[in-house]
Amino acid sequence: MVLRSEFLKVIHTVRGFLTFSLLLMLSRFLFIITLISVFSSTLNAQEINDLSGYATFKSNFESLYVVINEDSNSVHKVSVEKLIELDAGEYSVTIIPEYAASFNTVLRIKPDTVSVVSVYFSGIIYDQNPYFKLLQANSINEYLEQEKAYQFLDGMFFLNEYTLDEFHGRQFEQQDDFNNTYVKISSNVDSLFLQVGRYLGETYHIANHDSVAIRPGTRRVILGHPSSYDQSFLLTIEEGETYQVEHSFQLTKPSVYSFENNIAVGKYYNSNLIVISDEDSDIYINGKYVGLGAAQTNVRTGPYRVTVHNPYIGERTFTGTIANIPGEPATVVNAYTKPTKYMSRFLTPFPGASQLYKKQTLKGYLLSAGFILQSGLTLYTNHNYRQELREFNALRERYLVSTNEQAVFDLGNQLEQMQPRINQLNDRRKIMIGITTLIYAFNIYDALFTRPNSGYRSDLNLNLYLEPGVFRESYYSSFTVSYGF
């Protein structure tokens, strides 16, 4: 019995040792498996990161929506230089601006690369893009359910790729390929504005006789001044040369006409919208009061609404769109409401037209209607007179050639009866012509010598109303464009 008891103790001891050993081995195995799993996950993550790239978007809108592969989890509201990380591969990208048609393109993302997508929309619309409106309201599912038909881009599209180091270091923005090539400007003004290319070219304010570095090739150089019209030169630039450009500006008093399509105006006044009206007109832009007579401001890309209120003329509204594409001249709104003396005199030959143009409405309608009615009566009276006269002359012709005594007697009686009627119609005709002539003469006199209640338009001295460089706010997405390409 003692031996059996000792034997059982040994058996229990061995069993406990084996169980402990097995548990220890199992825990070590599980630990190794866990390490392998973690290491494998780390490698996977590293591999994925190494195969990813980035996309960023530039536009003439402050912000826009970007939808990738029509995926609800890939809807981004992007602004300047916001980087979107994507796995390497090909993507369908829809760009949705606020006031332009959506644009769809294919984007190929490469590892460790930044794709810079530059889209400048020219076709600005008056109503908000319905897709933009849905995404702004966070109605993503409703947007995805929409049947979409994309149009060709009305604007410009550029795709550039850079390494991360180039993108973050901005090496691609350096103007380092001019190779000592310059254009020297000589003019009759102390300073002027220069732009290379009509669109996407930066406009520079330079002093007379300054030299500007420019890339070799065929380049269009535009010179501008706020008090003159632009002058364009097409130059073939060879590497390492300095080209002399001479131009004398025909300086004029700044006006709404010299401001239009002028590359210098936007930069000089640092504004993308300039409104010029009469000296006593209140100006409102998009419902906000901005000034009296003339105003300058910066507005976001999209539609604008200018309302001008004049105490004599009343209220006038001008609408349009601004694209804010780099290199475009400022938008100048001719919001004059008062009549001009030239147009008033040009309309003088047309009864009532000059008066209506000068807002003398009652007088204009009376003169116009009176002249038309009186002219109609005069023509009718003249027609009756001519008809009666033809009958009288025909009867007299028969009277003169007749040889029958009785016939001559009868014809003579008829002529005597018709003569008073002819004289009466002739007198009435002369009166009608006289009245018509008086109405027309009064119209001529009134059109030439009567001033409108508001007075005639006088061009503003814009130097008293506009200030150079007073607006500094940004109105479109910032951009980096080489001005010599």
Instruction: Quote the pLDDT of residue 484.
Output: 34
Distance in angstroms (rounded) separating the CA atoms of residues 352 and 426: 29
Please report the pLDDT score of residue 214 as a whole number: 85
The residues with which 105 forms a beta bridge, in sequence order, are: 93
pLDDT computed for residue 168 by the predictor: 77
Q: What's the rounded mean pLDDT across residues 118-142?
A: 92
Give 185-211 pLDDT, tens digit per residue: 999 999 999 998 776 777 889 999 998
Cβ pair 481, 201 in contact under 8 A: yes
For range 326-334, the mean pLDDT: 91
Q: Does the structure show a pLDDT above 50 at 342?
A: yes
Bigger pLDDT: 283 vs 166: 283
DSSP tally for the chain: helices H, then strands E:
11, 22
Burial state string for 143-180 with b = 16 or more CB within 10 A and e = fewer than 16:
beeeeeeeeebebeeeeeebeeeebeeeebeeeeebee
Return the pLDDT at 353: 94
pLDDT at 437: 94
Least confident range from 10-14, 44-48, 166-170, 429-433: namely 44-48
Average pLDDT over residues 463-478: 58
Mean pLDDT of the chain: 83
Residue boundaries of the structural domains of the chain: 53-172, 182-334, 346-449
Q: What was the pLDDT predicted at 432?
A: 93
Q: Judge residue 63's burial from the number of C-beta atoms within 10 Å of its C-beta, 0-12 exposed, 13-18 middle, 19 or more buried.
A: middle
Answer yes or no: is pLDDT of 324 > 50.
yes
Most confident of the following: 17-26, 162-171, 372-381, 420-429: 372-381
Q: Is 285:275 a contact under the CB 8 Å cutoff? A: yes
Q: Given a cut of 50, is residue 3 above it in pLDDT?
A: no
- What is the mean predicted confidence (pLDDT) over 208-228? 89
- Tell me which of 399 and 142 has the higher pLDDT: 142
One-character DSSP codes across 379-414: HHHHHHHHHHHHHHHHHHHHHHH---HHHHHHHHHH
* Beta-strand pair 331-334/273-276: parallel
Instruction: Assess whether pLDDT exceeds 90 at residue 149.
Output: no
Task: Assign 46 a pLDDT band (cuts: 50, 70, 90).
Answer: very low
- Summarised one tens digit per residue, pLDDT across range 206-216 is 999 998 888 88
Which pLDDT tens digit goes with each residue over 287-307?
A: 999 999 999 999 999 999 999
One-letter identity of residue 356: L
Residue 240 gets the label, from left (phi > 0), alpha (psi -120 to 50) or beta, of left
Torsion over CA: 366, 371, 372, 378 (sign): positive
pLDDT score for 7 = 45
- Residues 57-80 pLDDT 10s: 989 998 899 999 988 888 999 876
What number of other Cβ atoms are within 10 A of residue 293's Cβ? 20
Taking the model in full, what pTM does it have? Answer: 0.74
Per-residue pLDDT for 1 more than 60? no
Residue 99 Cα to chain centre, angstroms: 11
Question: What are the tens digits of pLDDT across the range 74-86?
Answer: 899 987 668 899 9
Q: What is the pLDDT of residue 397?
A: 85
